[in-house]
Amino acid sequence: MPELPEVETVRRGLAPAMEGRVIERAQVNRPDLRFPLPDRMAERLAGARVTGLRRRSKYILVDLSTDETLLIHLGMSGRMLISGLQQGRFHHDHPAPAKHDHVVLDLEGGARITFNDARRFGAMDLMATADAEDHWLLRDIGPEPLGNAFDQDYLAARLAGRGAPIKSALLDQGLVAGLGNIYVCEVLFRAGIDPRRKAGRLSKARAQGLVPIIRDVLAEAIEAGGSSLRDYRQADGELGYFQHAFRVYGREGEPCQRQGCTGTVARVVQSGRSTFYCPRCQR
């Protein structure tokens, strides 16, 4: 499932094509994705101007001039594809309709945004913009890891006394928004922390030290366009490149990349997910 860097990359790719433009036509090709699509979705979108695109955790929020916001979740295989834009000397024509093109938005100026989702684990909904933070998918999400509310004191206080492994704690969306399996593995490697260690047993200093590492890993991943594993593509169809910078994720049996360490990357399963780490240098 795309994590924060991938969703932020998609948001940034969509913004130039959508912000300030009117949705001239909306085509909704099925009644549901992971959840039922909102009533009269095509009718409510058509004629609305896109006033801005935001991201909350792993969700893209498209604010409209109708005082409604379109919520988009990519799920496991969802893609937001752009066509019809002029980029330099090249014009990207609209592709032929595909089997899993579930929602298609035609915008003034000729751009088309297509939501394609083969597995249909994605989601879309419409809600009042003023009440967006109270939407049932968003209301219990913790602070953004790149925002001011996620600071060293906050994280140390939230981890104190927790009996869950630190890997599981950082995946808790109620504690911090948007972190997923890939980036938590990479964060804990850089921090030298064993992913199996109980969160509450970290010293305050080590807990606080996670904050800048989390921000660095996410910033680097966003700069690289996210990580392309299986289905993920950027909005222009390009792959992300951060997977080439993985130090532990997916590297079971390979030598540890930390200078001076002679360990080997191992894999364990935590809460049904693969965790990659170096048993020698992560303590």
Question: Where among 84, 101, 134 does a domain terminate?
Answer: 134
Task: Give the residue among 239, 211, 235 at the shortest CA–CA distance from 226.
Answer: 239
Q: What pLDDT, on the 0 to 100 scale, is given for residue 245?
A: 74
Active site residues: 2-3, 58, 273
The amino acid present at 81, given as its one-letter code, is L
d(CA 213, CA 190): 7
Beta-strand runs (E) in 15-137:
23-28, 50-56, 59-64, 68-73, 79-83, 86-87, 90-91, 101-107, 112-116, 123-128
- Structural domains in the chain (count): 2
The CATH number covering residue 172 comes to 1.10.8.50
> Does residue 201 sit in the same domain as residue 230?
yes
282 in a structural domain: no
The CATH number covering residue 91 comes to 3.20.190.10
> Does residue 176 sit in the same domain as residue 233?
yes
199 in a structural domain: yes
257 in a structural domain: no
Count other Cβ atoms within 10 Å, centred on residue 255: 12
* Structure-token pair, residue 18: 């959508």
User: Is the CA virtual torsion 218, 224, 225, 226 positive or negative?
Assistant: negative
> 102 by DSSP, 3-state: which?
strand
Percentage of the residues of the chain whose pLDDT score is greater than 70 = 90
d(CA 104, CA 64): 16
- Using CA atoms, how far residue 109 sits from 17, 19, 53, 61, 94, in Å, is 9, 12, 18, 22, 13
> 7 by DSSP, 3-state: which?
helix
pLDDT band at 140 (very low <50, low <70, confident <90, very high): very high
Q: What pLDDT, on the 0 to 100 scale, is given for residue 89?
A: 43
> Does residue 240 sit in the same domain as residue 200?
yes
φ, ψ of residue 186 in degrees (nearest 5): -70, -40
Per the structure, the complete domain to which residue 102 belongs is given by 4-134
203 in a structural domain: yes
What does the pLDDT look like over 85-130, one tens digit per residue? 755 444 557 877 788 999 999 999 999 999 999 999 999 999 999 9
d(CA 148, CA 198): 26
> Does residue 169 sit in the same domain as residue 203?
yes
